[in-house]
């Protein structure tokens, strides 16, 4: 956790300045931040960024961690309303369950922002994220650049996270045509509860046993699930031989790319998303006009035609990261530290320090 806090402060030094409304400075605003867990590397980082940005604008940030408990998260959101939160940012554990909390907050005129993960409610004031369908496409293309035929394993994210479904949609846009042609056979297709690396390890161990290690590629949906799967693959001598995708450009994921085990990750620059969340929160709390949001129907966002209503959204661009651009995009930009990425790499095989 200390490492993550240090990393968060380093990220803050490279943030673009965001111009917030003067009213936020004159009238203190209370922002609630509800977070699904602190096990995922990025969430403590973004909590630290948002806390600092809020403080700089004279706002108070109340954050609580739900530890993968959807009911607890709803209770925590309700408590934030009781504590006088003017606006609540939510990283949901379960996008369906959290809709109840959003609806209750809306009854009390407390706007809620879904942060990176969709909450399936048309009562949301905003949903901000990255282009998750494109993330899935990039993951699939990155794997196919190495192997475009054979036995493929699909490792999805948490089944309670709508992003996991969007990723799968993008992945299958690229993979399905080759399945239809008989070039690819999907021999394993599993969702990974809580995006947990340990769960991914267990799933991959079972698939390898069932297939006698005969797999040719793995499309994993984030760095955690990819690195978990790699643990099982290493035990069978497959790491570095079988291409595998990830997401988030974590330090461990980027290091694995440099070590030529993970094939591709996807860079979602949270240094851009966190300031947008605080800017939106302050404007919503101040009853100011919100710009740069586009309405999408819930059916578009989820693929579920039964869901009615629209949500104001903003999606940021993403970048595929492999061994050819990890240094320029990730290290030189300051997103990850040079020593974290090139630790254990021989000095004469490292690029120069930025």
Which pLDDT value is given to residue 137? 98
Beta carbons within 10 angstroms of residue 168's beta carbon: 23
List the CATH number of the domain containing 143: 3.40.50.2300
Q: Is residue 162 domain-resident? A: yes
Residue 27's pLDDT band (cuts 50, 70, 90): low
CB 268 within 8 A of CB 318: yes
The whole model's pTM is what?
0.84
Asked if residue 201 has pLDDT above 90, the reply is: yes
Which residue range(s) make up the domain with 31?
A: 2-130+269-316
- For residues 191 and 203, membership in a common domain is answered with yes
Percentage of the chain modeled with pLDDT above 70: 92
- For residues 77 and 137, membership in a common domain is answered with no
Residues 34-55 have pLDDT tens digits of 999 998 888 999 999 999 999 9
Half-sphere exposure of 258 (CA within 13 A, CB side): 25
Residues 53-100 have pLDDT tens digits of 999 999 999 999 999 999 999 999 999 999 999 999 999 999 999 999
CA distance 140 to 178: 11
Q: Is residue 354 domain-resident? A: no
Residues 174-193 have pLDDT tens digits of 999 999 999 999 999 999 99
Asked if residue 20 has pLDDT above 50, the reply is: no
- For residues 88 and 183, membership in a common domain is answered with no
Residues 302-312 have pLDDT tens digits of 988 899 999 99
- For residues 158 and 221, membership in a common domain is answered with yes
Asked if residue 22 has pLDDT above 60, the reply is: no
- For residues 96 and 185, membership in a common domain is answered with no
Q: Is residue 105 domain-resident? A: yes
Asked if residue 203 has pLDDT above 60, the reply is: yes
- For residues 155 and 236, membership in a common domain is answered with yes
Asked if residue 300 has pLDDT above 60, the reply is: yes
- For residues 53 and 63, membership in a common domain is answered with yes
- For residues 152 and 241, membership in a common domain is answered with yes
- For residues 17 and 43, membership in a common domain is answered with yes
Asked if residue 237 has pLDDT above 50, the reply is: yes
- For residues 67 and 177, membership in a common domain is answered with no
The count of domains in the chain is 2
CA dihedral 298, 299, 302, 305 (to 10 degrees): 140
Q: Is residue 194 domain-resident? A: yes
Residue 293, SS3 per DSSP: coil
φ and ψ at residue 208, rounded to 5 degrees: -65, -40
Residue 26's pLDDT band (cuts 50, 70, 90): low
- For residues 200 and 309, membership in a common domain is answered with no
Which pLDDT value is given to residue 40? 86
**Average pLDDT of the residues of the chain:** 92
CA distance 130 to 314: 8
Q: Is residue 304 domain-resident? A: yes
Beta carbons within 10 angstroms of residue 322's beta carbon: 17
Residue 336's pLDDT band (cuts 50, 70, 90): very high
- For residues 57 and 121, membership in a common domain is answered with yes
């Amino acid at each position: 956790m200390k490492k993550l806090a240090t990393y968060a402060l380093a990220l803050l030094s490279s943030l673009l300045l965001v111009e917030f409304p003067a009213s936020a400075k004159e009238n203190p605003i209370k922002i609630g931040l509800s977070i699904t867990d602190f096990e995922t590397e990025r969430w403590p980082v973004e909590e630290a960024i948002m806390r600092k940005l809020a403080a700089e604008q004279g706002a108070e940030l109340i954050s609580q961690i739900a530890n993968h408990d959807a009911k607890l998260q709803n209770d925590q959101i309700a408590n934030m309303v009781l504590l006088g939160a003017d606006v609540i940012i939510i990283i949901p554990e379960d996008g369906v369950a959290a809709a109840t909390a959003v609806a209750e907050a809306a009854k009390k005129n407390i706007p809620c922002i879904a942060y990176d993960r969709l909450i399936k409610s048309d009562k949301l004031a905003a949903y901000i994220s990255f282009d998750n369908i494109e993330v899935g496409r990039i993951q699939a293309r990155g794997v196919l650049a190495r192997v475009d035929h054979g036995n493929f394993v699909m490792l999805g994210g948490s089944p309670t996270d709508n992003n996991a479904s969007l990723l799968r949609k993008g992945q299958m846009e690229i993979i399905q045509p080759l399945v239809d042609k008989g070039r690819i056979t999907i021999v394993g297709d599993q969702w990974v509860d809580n995006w947990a690396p340990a769960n991914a390890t267990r799933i991959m161990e079972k698939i390898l046993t069932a297939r006698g290690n005969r797999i040719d590629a793995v499309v994993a949906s984030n760095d955690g699930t990819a690195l978990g799967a790699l643990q099982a693959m290493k035990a069978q001598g497959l790491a570095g031989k079988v291409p595998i995708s990830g997401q988030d450009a974590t330090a461990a994921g980027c290091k694995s790319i440099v070590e030529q085990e993970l094939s591709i990750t996807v860079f979602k620059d949270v240094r851009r998303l966190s300031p947008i969340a605080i800017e939106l929160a302050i404007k919503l709390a101040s009853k100011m006009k919100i710009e740069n949001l586009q309405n999408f129907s819930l059916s578009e966002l989820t693929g579920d035609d039964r869901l009615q209503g629209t949500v104001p959204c903003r999606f940021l661009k993403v970048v595929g990261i492999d061994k050819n651009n990890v240094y320029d995009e990730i290290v030189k930009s300051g997103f990850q530290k040079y020593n974290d990425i090139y630790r254990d790499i021989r000095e004469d095989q490292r690029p120069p320090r930025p």
